[in-house]
Amino acid sequence: MQTPSVETITDALKSVIDPELRRSIVELDMVREVKVGAGGVVDVTVSLTTAGCPIRGHFQQAVRSAVGALEGVSHVNVFFDVLSDEQKAALKQRLGIGGTLPDGALAQIANVLCVGSGKGGVGKSSLTANLAAALAAEGRRVGVLDADVWGYSIPRMYGLGATRPAVSAERKIIPNEAHGVKVMSIGFFLEQDAAVVWRGPMLHKALAQFLKDVDWGELDDLLIDLPPGTGDVSMTLAQLVPGASFLIVTTPQPTAQKVARRAGEMAGRLQLAITGVIENMSGFTTPAGERYAIFGSGGGEELAAELDVPLLAKVPLTIALREHSDSGTPLVVEDPDDPAAQAIRHAARGLIALAPPPVGASLPMAAPAAGGASPAAAAPAPIGASLPMA
């Protein structure tokens, strides 16, 4: 029987999709080599972004079945290697996330913290909204950037709705403000509950604009609420804000913690530091004082130990936290003594302890800067604001 050509095999490999980047490995130029040997034995080498790529097994299976289905193929061997730095850069370019921010765009923001998780619905947005309000209550200058452009929920949690932000004389977007927190979300620019379908380049452009064309002013902390899962948004942020770190939210059950570990692996792949873990939905205590571990227990501790980062808090399930998320006032503002609020305030204090020094803070020994403000702290040049992008 005739063996298939390299072209035919490459064609078949177009059906192998990278689940995170949602494109075929051929389009992503991740097929390093295709060799057709005697007797219909085919060797395929796939390049991964890192050696410990968690989706390696997926590629192995998908390549085997795509190529194995071709006539004349008796056996498929799948080999892996790792993309070089140049190849990674080319991949980012191809994904349309090649651009970086202008120098100094984030010079006034001391600490950028991405709040992420492996899966949805674990409380990222509720914790982001409450942590930011708790940080503000501790005297920090805080911003929240809602990077969940598909499922934005921060405006609702701060009771802001679709309040369109003003634009300054320098053509910068002035973030809305609530509970001492500066807030930016795509939700401010859309009709109620309108859907956004951006990916790749559009998404990158929107997030870049949120970072550089928004007048954040001087901030101690910018919390970024990530969409569920890993992927496009994390990659884009890693590119735009290489100094950002990750805060990983997990629920207590072992399966959730395994999924959250993927977020940790993603941070590792993108070379972002992980600040800590917060366990959410850690049990429910009835008014009579009986405690139920509804979502199991131990996941937060285990994940923190595995990633070798602090477990910043275990936030219990409380009805008040859910109610306040829905009604638009963070629980930590309205009822700081609620058990969930107490845990979140504890986490906020932990974050302050771990945070880098505020912008402009100098070491006790440093000489005063000559000539006043440093160039990095000077007002950024006006940039044309093309948001709203509709």
Ligand X SMILES: Nc1ncnc2c1ncn2[C@@H]1O[C@H](COP(=O)(O)OP(=O)(O)OP(=O)(O)O)[C@@H](O)[C@H]1O
- Binding footprint of ligand X on the chain (CB under 6 A): 117, 120-126, 148, 151, 153, 228, 280-281, 315, 317-318, 321-322, 325, 340
Residue 121 interacts with which of Mg ion, ligand X, none, CB < 5 to 8 Å by class: ligand X
CB of 195 to Mg ion, least distance (A): 15
**Cβ proximity to Mg ion, 105 vs 278, nearer residue:** 278
**Cβ proximity to ligand X, 64 vs 345, nearer residue:** 345
**Cβ proximity to ligand X, 105 vs 263, nearer residue:** 263
Cα–Cα distance for residue pair 90/146, rounded to 1 Å:
28
CB of 346 to ligand X, least distance (A): 14
76 forms beta bridges with 42
CB of 226 to Mg ion, least distance (A): 8
CB of 127 to ligand X, least distance (A): 7
Residues that bind Mg ion in the complex, under the rule CB under 5 A: 124-125
Residue 239 interacts with which of ligand X, Mg ion, none, CB < 5 to 8 Å by class: none
258 token code pair: 């395994």
H or E element: which one contains 245?
strand 245-250
**Cβ proximity to ligand X, 271 vs 286, nearer residue:** 286
* Sequence-separated (6 or more) residues with CB below 8 Å from residue 331: 130, 318, 320, 321, 324, 325, 338, 340, 341, 344
Residue 112 interacts with which of ligand X, Mg ion, none, CB < 5 to 8 Å by class: none
Taking the CB of residue 55, how many other CB atoms lie within 10 A of it?
15
**115 within 8 A of 127, measured Cβ to Cβ:** yes
CB of 114 to ligand X, least distance (A): 13
222 token code pair: 């910018």
**Cβ proximity to ligand X, 141 vs 179, nearer residue:** 179
191 forms beta bridges with none
69 token code pair: 């289905």
Residue 229 interacts with which of ligand X, Mg ion, none, CB < 5 to 8 Å by class: none
Residue 321 interacts with which of Mg ion, ligand X, none, CB < 5 to 8 Å by class: ligand X
* Sequence-separated (6 or more) residues with CB below 8 Å from residue 333: 133, 137, 179
**Cβ proximity to Mg ion, 108 vs 236, nearer residue:** 236
**Cβ proximity to Mg ion, 134 vs 249, nearer residue:** 249
H or E element: which one contains 144?
strand 142-146
Measured from each CB, the residue nearest to Mg ion is: 125
- Positive or negative, the CA dihedral 364, 365, 369, 375 is negative
Q: Is 195 exposed, middle or buried (0-12, 13-18, 19+ CB in 10 A)?
A: exposed
Cα–Cα distance for residue pair 189/222, rounded to 1 Å:
20
CB of 146 to Mg ion, least distance (A): 8
**Cβ proximity to ligand X, 47 vs 282, nearer residue:** 282
**Cβ proximity to ligand X, 111 vs 153, nearer residue:** 153
Distance from the first to the final alpha carbon of the chain: 56
Cα–Cα distance for residue pair 188/279, rounded to 1 Å:
30
Q: Is 305 exposed, middle or buried (0-12, 13-18, 19+ CB in 10 A)?
A: exposed
Residue 315 interacts with which of ligand X, Mg ion, none, CB < 5 to 8 Å by class: ligand X
CB of 269 to Mg ion, least distance (A): 22
Residue 130 interacts with which of Mg ion, ligand X, none, CB < 5 to 8 Å by class: none
Q: Is 390 exposed, middle or buried (0-12, 13-18, 19+ CB in 10 A)?
A: exposed
CB of 173 to Mg ion, least distance (A): 22
Residue 325 interacts with which of ligand X, Mg ion, none, CB < 5 to 8 Å by class: ligand X
DSSP 136: H
Q: Is 296 exposed, middle or buried (0-12, 13-18, 19+ CB in 10 A)?
A: middle
CB of 149 to Mg ion, least distance (A): 11
